[in-house]
Amino acid sequence: MYKNFIKVASANISTKLLNVEENKESILKYMDYASNNNVEILLFPELTLTGVSAGELIATNEITDRCKKALYEIIDNSKDSEILIIFGMPVKVNNKFYNAMFFVQNGEIINITSKKNLSYEEKKYFNVVRDNLFFAVNYGNDSFYLRMFNTDKINSYEGNINFNLQLIFENELINNNYTVSENTNLLLVPGSIKSTVNQINNIKDILKFVTKSNKVGLVYAGASNYESSGDGVYASQKFILENGKTISKGKLFTNGLIISEVNTYECKNRNIELHIEENYSPYEYKLSNKTFNLTRKLDKYPYFPGNENFEKSMRNILEIQSEALARRLRQIPEKKIFLGISGGLDSTLALIVSSLAYYKLKLNSKDIHTITLPGLGTSDRTKNNAINLSKAYATTFKEISIVDSVKQHFKDIEHDENDTSIAYENAQARERTQVLMDLANKHGGIVLGTGNMSEIALGWATFNGDHMSMYNVNSGLPKTLLKQVVKYVANSTENTLLKNTLLDIIKTPISPELLPTSEEGTISQKTEDNIGPYELHDFFVYHLVRNKSKFDDILFMAKNAFSDIYSEITIEKWFKKFKWRFITQQFKKNIAVDGPQILDYSLNPKNGFMIPSDLDPNSFN
């Protein structure tokens, strides 16, 4: 194990039916290759030494004796390797034959798991373990009996790392005849089923569902295409998955080996202690301490939905936001919204969601009051986009300049208006909030907030300014994902004015527009120049808050994921900035406006994210 990654492999050999010697040699070659590539867990299909399609001759004294001799050679070859090898072979115990998977590491048999849910064909020659059985081992100068524990679970303890494995046979998975333990981190699925068109198409989706719903990693090794084709074929499929995402897959009808690294944080975030009574093997496998390079490129946006579900997920996000707002509107007597429309991404999505909520409630869009509040840094570009958005959604639009009132405020507090320090910026943000709140009081209704999860994490909001509202539909969305939702709407609409406006907003530099524009009237204050790229911060938040990853590991992963965009020095710089802001701005997070949770993690104290506001800002150095 290196950092927070375990290197795993899925393999299928070019099976020679019942040629135990040849199959054993193939296993040994794969073991050597895996060892040279720092693999820690290597999975083969069922009945690796015989093939799954060899029929009743698998369960004979001749074949089981040959398999036992091959087993001893595999054990002997594993002495100089730290790999945990999981492979299948038939065994004979008390004159009965069993289909077993062997776990071998460092010259020892760690566990033996026999198949319980046999197919119709397998029942003709295999049995199911009913009681404790003992497998006779005559290895080297030793002769002893090893208990067939018949458990599908095995664990490892290395320092503070507890990584638990569970083996599920393929037919159990396909027939939904399995239970994933609460403690399982990585599933091992040895294959044995013939490949039909439906099976080839469905197996990936089944594996993704299992890993996503149980938040685990998974290694799948399907049966070899060298198996018998007498009444079907086998596709040699191989997959490595992590929490619903495929990180490596093999080529159809091609034997071989695939290798990738599983992020342990993606598979161990449920904070559940190990229940020993769950029938774990009394032996433990060992994790190596080797260092290795990642063969995979980590996802820059792990909180994004997969490509095949992307549009559906965008619709679902909008449904969650609009349903949440509709429910709040049902609660209040005056069903009016007052929204500060800036021409930026956040207020744009808030308006899109408001329009959907009003449509669901059959309310008049004129009760959505979009207020643009140009100040000392507002550009013509954003102001025009705010106007066009309001036209496209047929809202009640109003422009209220805050320039005079802010300048009067500067006089009141004796602040030089040429001093563009923090007071210059925050005075404008608070003035906008005051105007919106007073309008809501005057006419009835609520002020709709627009702040997103990224801004909340960094405290990038004026306390009691844009930080405050009466409901916030964006608080559960990272900035980078919020942008994708707006892009989805832009690509879906047939309204030309709306489409063009949204596409221009997406291209507009992110800015609070609180500092004077350039001489050309363009935006001079760019948020990401000050606090760093949102895509980095959203990556940091995901791994810190959702997975509770160590800082060194977050930095290691960020350098891998963003190596094609940012230098390591740049990533380190913004990570340091992130940690400081995340801690020092907690007092803003602790005063959270109501809003819907959208992802499976949240910064809202009401959803469980609770830390005090007075942590030492140097504690994360």
> Is 50 exceeded by the pLDDT of residue 276?
no
424 and 369, same structural domain?
Answer: yes
Q: Does this model's pTM top 0.85?
A: yes
> Is 70 exceeded by the pLDDT of residue 146?
no
| Predicted pLDDT of residue 287 | 82
Q: Where are the beta strands (DSSP E) in 192-298?
A: 217-221, 238-242, 245-249, 256-263, 280-284
Q: From CA 149, how far away is CA 128, in angstroms rounded? A: 13
Higher pLDDT, residue 255 or 609: 255
pLDDT band at 214 (very low <50, low <70, confident <90, very high): very high
CB neighbour burial string for 51-89, b if at least 16 within 10 angstroms, e if fewer = bbbbbeebbeeebbebbbebbeebbebbeebbbbbbbbb
Flag the least confident range among 223-237, 246-260, 513-527.
513-527
CATH of the domain at 162: 3.60.110.10
pLDDT band at 270 (very low <50, low <70, confident <90, very high): very low
10 and 140, same structural domain?
Answer: yes
Q: What is the pLDDT of residues 305-359, one digit of tens each?
A: 887 789 999 999 999 999 999 999 999 999 999 999 999 999 999 999 999 999 9
| Predicted pLDDT of residue 619 | 83
Distances (CA, A) of 28 to 32, 309, 493: 6, 41, 58
In a domain, 15, yes or no: yes
Q: From CA 442, how far away is CA 604, in angstroms rounded? A: 30
- Find tokens 């760019």 and name the residue: 526
Q: Which residues contact 123 (CB under 8 A, 6 or more apart)?
A: none
Span 444-454, average pLDDT: 97
Q: Which residues contact 445 (CB under 8 A, 6 or more apart)?
A: 332, 334, 335, 336, 337, 338, 367, 369
Number of domains in the chain: 2
- Three-state SS at 284: strand
Q: In the chain, pLDDT over 70 holds for what percent of residues?
A: 94
| Predicted pLDDT of residue 275 | 46
In a domain, 284, yes or no: no
Domain range for residue 348? Answer: 309-528
Cβ pair 181, 166 in contact under 8 A: yes
Q: What is the pLDDT of residues 98-108, one digit of tens each?
A: 999 999 999 98
| Predicted pLDDT of residue 279 | 57
Higher pLDDT, residue 515 or 226: 226
| Predicted pLDDT of residue 144 | 58
> Is 60 exceeded by the pLDDT of residue 34?
yes
In a domain, 584, yes or no: no
Tokens of 84: 């945990």
Span 582-597, average pLDDT: 94
53 and 106, same structural domain?
Answer: yes
Return mean pLDDT, the chain: 92
In a domain, 49, yes or no: yes
Higher pLDDT, residue 487 or 131: 487
Distances (CA, A) of 22 to 88, 119, 241: 15, 27, 30
In a domain, 495, yes or no: yes
96-105/84-93 β-pairing: antiparallel
Q: Which residues contact 139 (CB under 8 A, 6 or more apart)?
A: 72, 75
Flag the least confident range among 35-44, 250-259, 370-379, 516-525.
516-525
Span 570-584, average pLDDT: 96
Higher pLDDT, residue 276 or 470: 470
> Is 70 exceeded by the pLDDT of residue 161?
no
CATH of the domain at 430: 3.40.50.620
In a domain, 336, yes or no: yes
In a domain, 207, yes or no: yes
pLDDT band at 512 (very low <50, low <70, confident <90, very high): confident
Q: From CA 114, how far away is CA 89, in angstroms rounded? A: 10
Q: What is the pLDDT of residues 81-92, one digit of tens each?
A: 889 999 999 999
446-449/471-472 β-pairing: parallel
Distances (CA, A) of 8 to 129, 404, 425: 29, 65, 52
Last residue of a domain, one of 231, 246, 266: 266
Flag the least confident range among 182-191, 303-312, 456-465, 500-509.
303-312
Flag the least confident range among 33-47, 271-285, 443-457, 499-513.
271-285
| Predicted pLDDT of residue 252 | 96
**SS3 per-residue string spanning 128-194:** CCCCCEEEEEEECCEEEEEEECCCCEEECEECCEECCEEECCHHHHHCCCCCCCCCCCEEEEECCCC
| Predicted pLDDT of residue 609 | 86
Cβ pair 234, 194 in contact under 8 A: yes
| Predicted pLDDT of residue 554 | 97
Last residue of a domain, one of 500, 528, 556: 528
Tokens of 428: 């404008």
457 and 384, same structural domain?
Answer: yes
220 and 82, same structural domain?
Answer: yes
Span 44-52, average pLDDT: 98
Closest to 395 measured CA to CA, from 374, 367, 354: 367
> Is 90 exceeded by the pLDDT of residue 183?
no
Higher pLDDT, residue 93 or 136: 93
Closest to 595 measured CA to CA, from 449, 456, 454: 449
Tokens of 82: 């730290």
Higher pLDDT, residue 159 or 297: 297
Tokens of 207: 């594996």
CA atoms within 13 A on the CB side of 357: 25
In a domain, 569, yes or no: no
Angle at CA 91, nearest 5°, toward 89 and 93? 165
